[in-house]
Chains A and B, each alone.
Chain A
Amino acid sequence: MSLNWNGKVEMKDTGTYRFEVSFRKSLKIVSYTFIFNTLIALFLALMVFPGKIGECLIMSQSIGLSICIFTLTSLHVLKPVSQRSQYIVSLCAIGLGIAVGISIGIAATGLELSVLHNTQLLLKILFISLVFGFMIPYFFLYQDRYFETRSIAQEERIKRLLSEKRRVEVELKMLQAQIEPHFLYNTLFNIQSLLDSDGEKGKQMLQDLTRYLRVALSKSRAERTTIGEEVDLLRSYLNIFKLRMGERLQFTIEIPDEMKAIVIAPMLLQPLVENAIKHGLEPKINGGKIIIRGKMDKDRISLEVIDSGLGFQEGPQQGGVGLINIRERLLALYGDQGRLVLKENPGFGLQAVIEVPYGTD
């Protein structure tokens, strides 16, 4: 009786619950029981008591309905809270229902009371009632499941639509992330400033910005790029920040040459570096260091961005939107095979590692 025949409940519950089955639901359960009883009666009339369809029908209805009514009423009145008491109450109700049902049945079919002395027949009726009596409660579950399966199908459809929408959104965010307006305005103002005071540095920064934009905006990059190209992009990006932040930023890029031709999705590393600067080093008074490192084995590559910044700031105003985007893109591109792991090592900022399969496409 939705007694959770097969459900494991590990979490002990401390609240109190009230049994609530609406009138409408009860009506439904009763009518299902009625149909079920009729089927049992037909079965019995054919297989067990040939030719006694009338008696079978009356007997089966009276037993079935009284089990149903007893169970519903007792649960409604007693409102058992724990699972065990639900079991006990239902079992008692079923037993009582069978006894009352058989009595009514005998009275209604007009069978002689002598039936009571026919032990064999009585046992037969009792056995059949017990078997079917315990099946009635499944209607509750059946009902719930029926609606569940319907809603699951609906859910699947919504999910598919959502994932499509998500993919488009993620792509859009990626495009926006390539050229963040604040980065552009700040860099342009730095160039403007340097042109007056230190033309050589200003020219250098302008060249780095151009290189960055050329890679970031290239159309062929929309879907895939090589690690080498990504590294060029990052070097320009970091050069710009190096000029802006001066001594407060050091960086090294340790990517083995044999990795540079490997094809990967664009804009996976850039947000990690942006994050390291924005949340790790820029807010830190003395700044620090960024290390970009690549490793590969037979079928996997890992790309790390390590910074010595402030570490991950936890709280409602934390950053990390860019990191969420990376996760979503890894999931969309590589499924379970791609992952982003973030670690904070004591005394040494944040370590972000992207791991993706290699050579599978």
Chain B
Amino acid sequence: MVQIRAIIADDEEPIRVYIKAKLSILWPEMIICGEARNGLEALELIENHGPQIAFLDIQMPGLSGLDVARQVAGKCRLVFITAHDQYAVEAFDNEAVDYLLKPITDDRLKKAVERLKKRLNNPFQGPEEIQKTMQMMLQAFEKSGKSYLRWIKAQHGDGVIIIPVDDVCYFSKSEKYTRMVTKKKDFLIHKTIQTLEEELDPHEFWRIHRGMIVNARHIEKVSRSITGRGIIRLKERPETLIVSRNYLHIFKQM
């Protein structure tokens, strides 16, 4: 009989110890050939020991469980462990991978073991399907994690200060850099106007010009000159900004 080897990867020691102990009872024929404290160690263990099964925590330092899985897909069966149900557990509870939600109950672990035993008898599934599942998981993960830029780093003295975007009155293009103007100070940052437009919340930050984005919350009023250009007066800055023709439509219904 072929010996079954598995690895366990979780950054929290009590959990590794627990899972190892439970597995030794539920599946005495299986040998845990390695324990990893982070994603990089997990990858190394899988490369070096070639286990049939890997129990991977998703949130790990270095590399996440999903990153590890992407790199080793097709080399071993995967069982993910996490307290986060944001990845829509059921959707991925298929043949390609299994999924254990913390706190793991004995029954659920038993079920996972039975599934693994059954699957080990079947021929290995093509890496394509695993890749596909991984892709879906990653997408779900990224979607739920996606949010708008809320803080921006800027050089300040000999350190870096982190400015909430709410405090920024406007961004304007300035040769190689972008000027970030707040109530009292202004900073030069590396992000381009284009990048900022993609990353900032479009409901709060409006592009008004090829080289300018204004924070709508800081607008005192917008008047329209007879020549049809928009002129923005700011609440806490003396200068006025001009809305170019291409972006005037933002203010049309006002």
Contact = CB atoms under 8 A, between A and B. Distances in A.
A322 B124 CA distance: 44
A19 B254 CA distance: 18
A14 B210 contact: yes
A175 to B, nearest CB: 20
B14 interface: yes
A318 B150 contact: yes
A245 interface: yes
A251 B225 CA distance: 59
Nearest to A82: B227
B210 A346 contact: no
A197 B147 contact: no
Given A144-B224, A190-B14, A245-B11, A13 B83 contact: no
B149 A185 contact: no
Contacts of B152: 314
B142 interface: yes
A192 B254 CA distance: 59
Interface residues of B, number: 61
A9 B153 contact: no
A182 B103 CA distance: 10
B202 interface: no
B222 to A, nearest CB: 8
Given A140-B226, A316-B147, A343-B160, A11 B38 contact: no
Contact of A285 (B19, B38, B241): B38
A50 interface: no
Interface string A1-14: 11110011111011
A18 B226 contact: no
A79 B227 contact: yes
B146 A317 contact: yes
B11 A243 contact: no
Contacts of B212: 11
B150 A15 contact: no
- Looking at A7, A21, A80, A314, the one whose CB has the most chain B CB atoms below 10 A away is A314
A194 B14 contact: yes
Interface string A169-187: 0000000000001100110
Contacts of B18: 192-194, 196-197
A150 B241 CA distance: 22
A16 B103 CA distance: 63
Residues of A in contact with B, size category = 35 or more
A245 B224 CA distance: 59
Contacts of A229: none
Contacts of A341: 161
B246 interface: yes
A87 to B, nearest CB: 11
B228 A18 contact: yes
B231 interface: yes
Contact of A327 (B61, B153, B164): B164
A2 B224 CA distance: 8
Contacts of B254: 151
A230 B207 CA distance: 43
B162 interface: yes
A3 B226 CA distance: 7
B102 A81 contact: no
A19 B161 contact: no
B14 A317 contact: no
B240 interface: yes
B226 A315 contact: no
Given A2-B225, A7-B231, A346-B159, A315 B239 contact: no
Interface string A76-112: 0001110000100000000000000000000000000
Nearest to B102: A189
Nearest to B20: A197
A17 B230 CA distance: 10
B223 interface: yes
A339 B151 CA distance: 15
A193 B162 contact: no
A13 B221 CA distance: 19
A184 to B, nearest CB: 9
Interface in B196-254: 199, 209-210, 212, 221, 223-229, 231, 233, 238-242, 244-246, 254
A284 interface: yes
30 contacts: A1-B226, A2-B224, A2-B226, A7-B231, A7-B240, A11-B239, A11-B241, A13-B209, A14-B244, A15-B244, A21-B226, A75-B226, A80-B227, A141-B223, A181-B83, A182-B83, A186-B102, A189-B104, A190-B12, A193-B14, A193-B19, A244-B14, A285-B62, A312-B151, A314-B152, A317-B146, A317-B147, A320-B150, A324-B164, A342-B162
User: 7 tightest A-B contacts by CB?
Assistant: A193-B18, A189-B103, A15-B244, A342-B162, A344-B160, A185-B83, A189-B102
Given A285-B38, A320-B150, 5 more contacts: A9-B240, A151-B254, A193-B15, A314-B149, A343-B156
Interface of B: 11-15, 17-19, 21, 38, 40, 59, 61-62, 83-84, 102-104, 142, 145-153, 156, 158-162, 164, 166, 172, 199, 209-210, 212, 221, 223-229, 231, 233, 238-242, 244-246, 254
Interface of A: 1-4, 7-11, 13-21, 75, 79-81, 86, 140-141, 144-145, 148, 151-152, 181-182, 185-186, 188-190, 192-194, 196-198, 201, 243-246, 248, 282-285, 287, 312, 314-318, 320-321, 323-324, 327, 341-346, 350
